[in-house]
Amino acid sequence: MATGIPRANGKKIIETVRLEYAGKKPVEKILQSQHAELIEVGKRLPSDNMLIFADNLSALAALAQDERIVGKIRMVYIDPPFATQSAFQSRKLSHAYEDLLSGAEFIEFLRERLVWLHHLLSDDGSLYLHLDERMVFHFRIILDEIFGASKYRNCITRKKCNPKNYTRKTYGNVADYILFYTKSDNYVWNRPHKPWSEERIIEEYQYVEPETGRRYKKVPIHAPGVRNGDTGKPWRGMLPPMGKHWQYLPTKLDELDAKGNIYWSPTGNPRRKVYMDESRGIPLQDIWMDLRDAHNQNIHITGYPTEKNPDLLRRIILASSNPGDMVLDCFSGSGTTLAVSSELERRWIGIDNSPEAIRITLKRFAMGLEPMGDYVSKKTNNIKTSLLPIFSEEIELLGKHKPIEDFTLYAESNLIEELRSLIAEHEHTIELSRGTCKSSR
């Protein structure tokens, strides 16, 4: 593999390219958007966690009015509509949402929300934007504009499903993409690793130290690029190879050698020993083959369309946040981000304007997930209703699933009646809070 040598005095030059289209608003105008009036609807246990039934643009603007939230969001994950120009139903054929925007209209719809999300993020926060091949290339440019091109970290490729037997003349589409950006260069990062297999250990760590029995591999102690400091000077009477420099200061190399961590070849070529038992695992790369969405009848799901694999969210949340941090998903759908955040002891905010999304999220909080096969065979749950027992004592009777109870339900003021009707349909009533709060608390 070819290795490039940095130029321009070692500084990487990154130029931001702009995407222009009709209807594109200045950032300043977006940040002046009118915010929603969010009304508390119900809660069981006091918490910072919030589930909000509202248009997410005006809800994000409302959250920005709260000094306890703005600049405090550690991580954002969003899985927005993909500009498919389709309507989506749950597995029980309930209307979930419509994805009818396309072209410039869709780009500006999502860009406005991304501007607000950047505003809400903490300086050490991260954003993960989940898209498919229709719009991922457009939004690489849009996010470069909003965050800065130097804040791009990865375009993660995820295998989303099993191979397809296409009849049309094209390759099977089994991937979608996650754009990973950070607000600054100093961001929360807990590097994810995959466990070693025995086969991979033997392949990677080929040598065994006779004295200790420890497995190790040999790696170079030099790196590309010429340096004029100590790492470019001779060590043990030898210079680094032409066009390269020592990875460590000579004093550090002496220290490694004294510990027996330098291997000297018969020709006198030094290499560093890297021991297998000091490895946390295989560092995760940017192609994820192991996180498909539901693909067999035994996998537990909510039945909401485009529902994502909880392990996908688990990986992202663990990598870019710590316990107690706030995670936000403003296209929260079936509540996967929220449920996983709760499991991992993160605080969370979820926003969605689909009544079906709110219904399924509350059901998930109360009862958990069901095997996918139950939707195929049209099995029904014996419990008469599963929508909102989470706000009553009945929650204790729902079986092995540990309910998520520590959150407050909010609704945009103009959606209160719709939420009341939604609740009434399932024979549960909640006394609506009389108070309103412009800052959504």
Instruction: List the domain range (segments joined by +) for residue 42.
Output: 27-124+300-437
Q: H or E segment at 408?
A: strand 408-412
Q: Any idea what the CATH number is for the domain that residue 371 is in?
A: 3.40.50
Is 245:252 a contact under the CB 8 Å cutoff?
no
- Are residues 319 and 371 both part of a single domain? yes
Which pLDDT score, from 0 to 100, does residue 169 have? 82
Is 39:410 a contact under the CB 8 Å cutoff?
yes
Task: Report how many domains make up the chain.
Answer: 2
Chunked mean pLDDT (size 10), the chain, 441 residues? 55 78 94 90 86 95 96 97 55 53 86 98 98 93 96 96 77 92 98 92 93 94 92 92 93 93 92 94 94 68 79 97 98 94 97 90 84 55 44 52 88 87 53 38 37
Which pLDDT score, from 0 to 100, does residue 381 have? 45
Q: Is residue 321 part of a domain?
A: yes
- Are residues 305 and 271 both part of a single domain? no
- Are residues 244 and 313 both part of a single domain? no
> DSSP label at 197?
P
- Are residues 273 and 305 both part of a single domain? no
Beta strands in 54-113 (DSSP E): 73-78, 86-89, 95-99
Q: Is residue 335 part of a domain?
A: yes
- Most distant CA atoms of the chain, gap in Å: 84
Out of 231, 246, 278, a domain closes at 278
Is 253:235 a contact under the CB 8 Å cutoff?
yes
Q: Is residue 287 part of a domain?
A: no
